[in-house]
Amino acid sequence: MSVDLPLGKRTSYPQEYSPSLLAGIPREEGRRALGLTGSLPFTGVDVWNAHELSWLDPKGKPVVATAELWVPASSPRIVESKSLKLYLGSLNGARHESESAVRQVIAADLRDVVGAELEVRLAPAPHEALPQTVDVPAGVCIDDADVAIDTYTVDARLLEGSADASDEVEETLYSNLLKSNCPITGQPDWATLFVRYRGGRIDREALLRYIVSYRDHAEFHEPCVERIFTDVKRSSEPRALTVFARYVRRGGIDINPFRSDFEDLTDNVKSWRQ
């Protein structure tokens, strides 16, 4: 990877607003490795939740908020997570007239990095207590399957022959056991993975073994999800497929890639680990 990234490097946190801190990573390299060189077999979005955001109002008083960044999967680049953390930190001492002004600044700066229009949603701190709820995922959890597993490096062959074409179903399966690793720092990335499909019934034990095979795999969140989508599509041949991962927060940011060939993501409901 030839892009100069701040990940894994000793870093001084910025004292002034600095969009130059942002670093983009081309999606092309990872997709080429999956054989995705033409039209993409999916659409989707990467939803970033940034929980450490603050700026100053015109009188110099701090404002705190959270941000949702909806980056289309069609963008040529993703933003590197540590560079985003540093960039958002650089807003701490900047004065802005309004929340709308901050949203416009963030949207413009990130558009230049990812190479596409994106949606930025800000949620200022509420003035009243909100009810604390934990989202229970819709679908069937496959984690209780009594299976022996000894493969912890990605192996798409674990999915071969896993779909029964004679048993047509429409279902959502999910697992809390997805773990991959940052390819730069080696830090673990934990996620809940959803697979929603229509087609021949996928063997749940085979799918679970495949998901666990990411345990020692080093790859960023977005290409991991695209790899899973591609492997399931090629091996099980569902007529419709969605793969969605909600990753655990690290450095105040969680990343949630969504890829589908039949539906769009319409909400951003956090999982119990987020």
Q: How far apart are CA 56 and CA 103, in angstroms?
A: 14
CATH 3.30.1130.10 domain residues, the chain:
19-124, 140-260
DSSP state for residue 26 in the 8-state scheme: E
Q: What is the pLDDT of residues 76-87, one digit of tens each?
A: 999 999 999 999
pLDDT at residue 5 is higher than 70: no
Integer Cα distance of 191 and 220 in angstroms: 12
User: Does residue 189 have an active-site annotation?
Assistant: yes
Q: What pLDDT does residue 93 have?
A: 94
Q: What is the pLDDT of residue 132?
A: 57
The CATH class of the 19-124 domain is alpha beta
- For residue 1, is pLDDT > 50? no
- Determine the pLDDT at residue 137: 76
The number of residues making up the chain comes to 274
- Residue (of 91, 82, 97, 87) closest to 54 by Cα position: 91
Q: Is the dihedral of CA 103, 104, 106, 110 positive or negative?
A: positive
Instruction: Tell me: pLDDT of 191 over 90.
Output: yes
Is 141 assigned a catalytic role? no
Evaluated on CA atoms 108, 114, 120, 122, the torsion sign reads negative
pLDDT in tens, 236-271: 999 999 999 999 999 999 999 999 999 999 999 888
Tell me if residue 203 falls in helix, strand or coil.
Answer: coil
**pLDDT of 8 above 80:** no
Least confident of 127-131, 190-194, 205-209: 127-131
Q: Which of 46, 189, 203, 261 is catalytic?
A: 189
The sheet that has 188-202: what strands, in order across it?
119-124, 62-72, 43-56, 253-260, 240-247, 188-202, 163-181, 140-141
Q: Strand (E) positions, the chain? A: 24-26, 43-56, 62-72, 77-79, 119-124, 140-141, 163-181, 188-202, 240-247, 253-260
Cα–Cα distances (Å) from 222 to 9, 77, 166, in that order, read 22, 11, 33
Which whole number is the average pLDDT over 151-155? 97
Reading the block at residue 124, the tokens are 């200022």
Active-site residue, from 182, 203, 231, 261: 182
pLDDT at residue 210, rounded to an integer: 98
**What is the CATH T-level fold of the domain 140-260, as seen in this structure?**
GTP Cyclohydrolase I, domain 2 (3.30.1130)
The candidate with the shortest Cα–Cα distance to 71, out of 25, 15, 4, 140, is 25
Of the listed ranges 5-9, 112-116, 226-230, the least confidently predicted one is 5-9
Q: Which amino acid is at 66?
A: T
Percent of the chain with pLDDT over 90: 85
